[in-house]
Amino acid sequence: MSATMTAAPGRAETGDDDPRETAPPAVRASGLRLDGSRGRVYGPVDLEIAPGTVTLLTGRSGSGKTSLLLTLVGRMRPNRGSDLVVLGRRLPARAAGVQRRSAAVGIHGLDDLDEEVTVAAALREREAWLAPWYSVVRTPDDEHVARVCAGVFGRNEVPRARQLVHELDEAANLQLRLALALLSSPELVVVDDIDALHDTDGRRLVWESLRTLSERGVTVITSAASAGELSRLGWETLPGHVALPTP
């Protein structure tokens, strides 16, 4: 069974002359699939995702959502014969280029934050990683943390520099991870298991963060167990939806 786009990707209202209307897809896949030692992980999947949009990928546990997200950002290799182009680069041949221009957030073991460090320490570590080796990266203060987080946190309270990561609620933790990921200016961001956020209001704040990113031209793909997420958003234009069958 092949998974295909079941709804047009949602985006903010833009003008008739918006270049995204005629831009090539951010993601185009045909017959995309992955098999592991225990059988099919996901696929085949056919999809086309426009730049600057938000897309929800759904599927029950075992449907391969996380593996597909990692494939789309060049972190996993699909089966031979899969046709996949991301940000104008064919995968897996040009995976390095896609990795530099994308970010994966909310994926266990990939972007986890040390719960016992401060927000400032987490930010400094990320900035030091991105800076040239000869740069001096100082520990940020509240003003610098607020500047980095402002575009993501929206109506949610921006964390303080000396606040410990474990003191953040679930939504703020994920928003901080988004803010850190955006320091590398990715064109594509994937966010795994948005429905793992138990607080409904907090999850809504994260959805608003994702919509804000798309309005800035970033292509966003997130995952959840079901499309029930969409009915609770209240957006005039809903995100696109890709439903994965369980292999």
The string of pLDDT tens digits covering residues 173-194 is 999 999 999 999 999 999 999 9
Is the peptide bond prior to 44 cis by the omega test (within 30 degrees of 0)? yes
| CA separation for the pair 155, 208 (Å, rounded) | 9
70-131-138 Cα angle (round to 5): 120
% of the chain with per-residue pLDDT over 70:
91
pLDDT 10s digits, 9-19 = 444 444 455 55
| CA separation for the pair 190, 220 (Å, rounded) | 6
pLDDT 10s digits, 96-119 = 999 999 999 999 888 899 999 999
